[in-house]
Structure 1
Amino acid sequence: MSADVKGLDVTIMGREFRVACPEDEQQALLDSVTFLDKKMREIRDAGKVIGVERIAIMAALNIAHEFLGTRLAGSFDIGEYKRRMNSMQAQIEQAMADQDELF
């Protein structure tokens, strides 16, 4: 099942970007834009980093560090979590299909 990919205009630190995104993932992209914009503004407002490109790099490093720290420290891997949830969903659906055959 493929979704139509459309261009979505987003604004980060006052700069506009057009990003290709499947329609069914647009809200997640907008949430990501909001998160990144907030991180970049926090770095800018701290006054220690000057220049949008440097602020973007620092934000990317901070986000990557937070992500990896959460994944490694807590032994939590979102990809593995999603795979396990999909596997459980498939098992439930199979059990339900088997149940329907009994009646």
Structure 2
Amino acid sequence: MVSIQILGRKFTVNCPVEEQADLQQAVINLNERLQDLKQRLKVVNSEQLVMVVALNLCNELLQSKQRSREQFDVVLSKTGQLQKRLEQALMKTRLVASPD
């Protein structure tokens, strides 16, 4: 069990020991985002703050997933191109090496 504080409210959550440092970083990041939004939008309602931050985080996650998919597609394409070039080079090597 780990005690955390978000927007001044304490919570106790289950968290494996090996993930506690990441959880604490997530809590710091969340509190920073909430405070930043609170100052920028002059919003006092905690529910509204949490909702907007949650939507922002979901949007960032979706964008990150899209970038990852695009990067994967590029790597897959380049790997295919490299494989073709290697196969062509092997074929040339075999043709040169074969006695006719």
TM-score (norm 2): 0.63
* Larger radius of gyration between Structure 1 and Structure 2: 2
Of 43, 46, 51, the match for 2:37 = 43
Q: Distance in 2 between matches of 1:34 and 1:22?
A: 18
Q: Which runs of 4+ in 1 moved over 3 A?
A: none
Give ranges in structure 1 of 5+ residues lacking alignment.
1-6, 78-103
- The corresponding residue for 1:67 is 61
How many residues align structurally?
71
Percent of aligned pairs with the same amino acid: 28
TM-score (norm 1): 0.62
Which has a greater percent of strand? 1
Deviations 1:7-41 (CA, angstroms, capped at 9, x unpaired): 11111111111111011110011111111111111
The 5-angstrom pairing of residues 1-103 of structure 1 reads 7-75=1-69
Q: Distance in 2 between matches of 1:56 and 1:34?
A: 14
Deviations 1:26-77 (CA, angstroms, capped at 9, x unpaired): 0011111111111111111112533111101110100110111121134279
Give ranges in structure 2 of 5+ residues lacking alignment.
72-100
Which has a greater percent of helix? 2
RMSD: 1.8
Counterpart secondary structure, 2:69: coil
Letter in 2 for 1:44: K
